Amino acid sequence: MEALKLVARRREKTGRNRSGRERRLGFVPGVVYGESGPLPLVFDGRELRSVLRRVMGRAAIVTLELESGQRHAVVADHQRHPIRDTLLHVDFHEVSLEKKMHAHVPIRTVGVDECEGVKQENGILEFVTHVVEVRCLPADLPSECTVDVTTLRLRQKITVADLVPPSGVEFISHADLVIVACAAAQDKQEETETAASGEAKV
């Protein structure tokens, strides 16, 4: 797991006017939610954007460096301006390094261009699930789960049950949850036509 650190400063005053002044000075307000309640923080905008670029699309623990000490957290949400796309606010959820946590880990599919069901049997890959839920200690949190579809044949599928969890990681998602399937082009066409027919009758 990559070590990500972010310096944060506690916000003594909150409110829309205060937040607006902080943003004009290049800072971004945020909150870290923990067992002791929400803690308002403010971050250097450039450093925060750099960390978010490295976090987005993957699972990661961020170490928040505060004057009172370190806090470990995951990014829960962030808000951007609807027009200017500037970063407005970020939410973190605190985690304990000694306690197992639940997290949604993104799935990275490899072997798409070499998939036997596509190349040899004219199949179509259907990506059904893009994340898998796991339970583990923060130190064991994988940034992603890799799924190889190279040997996937026509009308076959890969489910959570087919995955091998990394050491110290337990999959929480249902074992029958489909991640990717190789469907026949004809089946896909019939499915689309059936859906379209149903919509027309409504």
Mean pLDDT across the chain, nearest whole number? 88
CATH domain 4-95 topology = Ribosomal Protein L25; Chain P (2.40.240)
Q: How far apart are CA 195 and CA 128, in angstroms?
A: 17
Averaged pLDDT for residues 92-117: 95
Question: For the whole model, what pTM was predicted?
Answer: 0.78
pLDDT single digits (tens) 5-26: 999 999 876 666 677 777 888 8
- Domain locations in the chain as residue ranges: 4-95, 101-196
Q: Tell me if domain 4-95 and domain 101-196 are identical in fold.
A: no
pLDDT of 191: 55
Lowest mean pLDDT across 6-20, 89-103, 137-151, 173-187: 6-20
Largest Cα–Cα distance in the chain?
Answer: 64
| CATH architecture for the domain at 101-196 | Beta Complex (2.170)
Contact 116, 166 (CB under 8 A): no
The residue type of 103 is A
- Contacts for 24 with CB less than 8 Å, ≥ 6 apart: none
